[in-house]
Structure 1
Amino acid sequence: MPTGVALRDPREQLFEAAERVLLRDGPSALTSRAVTTEAGVAKGVLHRHFTDFDDFLAGLVEDRVRRVEAQRGDLVAAAGTGEVIDILTGALTDLFSPVVVAMVALVTSRDGLRARLRAAGHPGLPVLTHGADMITAYLEAERAAGRIAPGASAEMLALMLIGSAHMHFTSGDGGGETIREIVSTTVVLAA
């Protein structure tokens, strides 16, 4: 790599490269060399921006968490505006992108990464835990709008949806009709 060549946002460039490696080759292939090679930068670029590779991976996961948290406001704002089943189906399909499914596998396979994320205040499986919080907030807003039964536990319904959707998307069948069926069945329980 020639020296003196300005990089666009190096952190973002490295995160995008890591996501490509993760999707193409899986969590076990995600190394600092694989990421910097994919990004087309010198290995030192990663270490200039992160203390070590687990710090980089934690930053990658936290970047995805920020995206989920940004979706939360839009999802809660959608309460009362459309069909609950349609809104939840869309939210779960968006949440469980191939990158997120691969990222969950990454987090579960790396003890050091999980420990670092927990120390940074991310309980459980980050992204999924934040997704459950997002769905809970939406269901609470729908309950307040009278579209979910007053006694329904938004938190339990969200956990059911996240767990079922995760199982569905990790099976390799990303079909939207199955997610819609999962959501429909769960919403019936909330009626």
Structure 2
Amino acid sequence: MGRGARATRARPTDGRDPVLPLAILGFLADEPLHGYQLKDRITGLTGHVKPVSDGALYPAIARLEAKGFVERRPEPGSGAAPRQVLTLTAAGREELDRRLREPTQTEITDRNRYFTLLAFLHRLEDPEAQAAVLRRRLDFLTAPNVAFFFDQDGKPVRVENAPTLFQRGMTQIARATSKAEREWLDAAIAELEAAG
């Protein structure tokens, strides 16, 4: 690194992030898992954007267990202490279904939370309910865009007039990504409506 440059790392979740319980429920809906397997899968999903620590994961699991959404059962291991296998309960499946069917507005508008929701949306078996979630995202993306940059009078700056090369790049990338996502959403909603 150059002189004066500082390394930055993503901050681990604090365990109260609503994405973490959704990811736990979603992965356990696939199959029972050990805690370390669950951590690996969540890390694979969120990557460097939101790394999960043991100090966040295990309290989140304990809170889901206290609500009756997750159960632990011991499994004989090669070590002295038995390993704990986590399973989703019937109440946990209902909670996952509810969260997928009724995502919060932030789970629709925040890209990272939305991608976590999208990763498990296949668990919602009703194509119309899946399409309804996608329509909410599409509505958000097609609403009048909020500009990244404003001039001295407070008016949005057009992308080609952004003050720097990097700000122009940021805006162009965001617009291209949004356009590609809207195209996918249109196609996915049409496919789900045809299936429903």
TM-score if structure 2 supplies the norm length?
0.28
Q: Which has the higher helix share?
A: 1
TM-score if structure 1 supplies the norm length?
0.28
Q: Which has the higher strand share?
A: 2
Q: Which has the higher contact order (CA 8 A, sep 6+)?
A: 1
